[in-house]
Structure formats: C-alpha cells, structure tokens
Amino acid sequence: NAGVTQTPKFQVLKTGQSMTLQCAQDMNHEYMSWYRQDPGMGLRLIHYSVGAGITDQGEVPNGYNVSRSTTEDFPLRLLSAAPSQTSVYFCASSYRPQGAEAFFGQGTRLTVV
Amino acid sequence: AQSVTQLDSQVPVFEEAPVELRCNYSSSVSVYLFWYVQYPNQGLQLLLKYLSGSTLVKGINGFEAEFNKSQTSFHLRKPSVHISDTAEYFCAVSVDQAGTALIFGKGTTLSVSS
C-alpha cells in the first residue's frame, strides 16, 4: 500500500505565486487533514475534512483553501504565497471510527522567497 | 477550545536511563489523547492513544502513558531508553472523534546519548 502520498516533496515559490499541494490516500479513509510544522511550534491544523464534500477550518486556515471532491484526494491551495507560509506541510488520513490512528504523509517542504 | 502544553522542549538523557515526557491538556469536552513520534526527515508515527477505560496505556517500542483526568495530564514514560529513541515527540488531543483533526503540542526533543 502507498498509504498517504504527498507531492511535491520540495517546492520553492516566489511571493504572490499560487500552487496546490497534492495529497492522496489509498486506504479509503473518510477523514483527511492538513497541518503545517514550524520550528518550535509543533504541528498546527490548517483544514480538515470528514468526508467527500465536507471541509472545515482548523487553527490556522488563513491563506489556504481546500476542497474534497473524492474520498482519495484532499488538495491544499495557496492562492497568493507569502514568506510566512514557508513551512513543512503534512497531510494525514484516518478511518471514521473513534480514536483511529492518523496516518501521515512524508511532508512537503515549501519555501516562499 | 482544546489545547496541549508540552512542558519540556528538550530532554537529554543517557542510554538505559528512564525518561518522562510531560503533557498537559485543556478541553471542555471528553478528549481522546495521543502521542506521536517523528524521526528526522520523516512523517509522524503513532506511539499510543487513550480513548477510554484503563488510564495506563501501553504503546509501541516500550513506551507507556498515564491519563490523569484530575490533573489533565497525559505523561509519556519509558523505563529504559535506547539511542534509537532519539526523536521529536508530540502530544495531541482530538477535536473530533476520529483522531484525524488533531491539536498538537509544540513537541519535545528527546536526545539519548551513550
């Protein structure tokens, strides 16, 4: 099984550019989410989804958009990149039952210059 | 709103010594608590979780944690650490029942030396 796959692994953007971070899972998980990891800040929840067509905001949603048209995919869009969005981004998924383990991707390291 | 505080940002220990990584949480509703580990340049891996029942939870790699509702704590312990336990450890609480939408603490870096 591939598990949770994030692409790209590395990306450099110029301020103001837009891009989409891809996340796909092949485990038929209903729940998916995006986090950003910054030094000394831990992981902070950006957006999450409890199923296709349903999304909600997390702790730090500003500057990011998401959609969930299929169970497998949960892309994260940066509409106008800013240097403050330089971070490592992780996607995660889990089964619907209570307390299920979240499976994480390997991360995307994004630098905005 | 839920929040998690990891009380130590760095914990240096010698190999074969015991270790405790401290975690306190706040929540206005019932919580599900988790410990994840992150090895360098990798994603996160679940160590253990508390959903209900016994307050002592055992996880992988010899780790265990104790849920203390009165002190709102979920400290992680290991009686004897190895060099390979060097990693960053995150305590987390869930905002929904599935444990996917997690609120994380800022992390504790465990450094094990010989």
How would you write the pLDDT of chain B (114 residues) with one tens digit per residue? 778 999 999 999 999 999 999 999 987 777 889 999 999 888 899 999 998 888 999 999 999 999 999 999 999 999 999 999 999 999 998 866 555 578 899 999 999 999
Q: Are B44 and A37 in contact (CB under 8 A)?
A: no
Separation CA B81–CA B86 (nearest Å): 9
Residue in A closest to B93 by C-alpha? A99
List of chain A residues whose C-beta atoms are within 8 Å of the C-beta of residue B101: 31, 33, 45, 48, 56, 58
The shortest C-alpha distance from B82 to chain A (Å) reads 24
Separation CA A58–CA A48 (nearest Å): 7
Q: What is the token pair recorded at A28?
A: 């038929």
Scan residues 46-75 of A and list those with Cβ closer than 8 Å to B. Answer: 48, 50, 56, 58-59
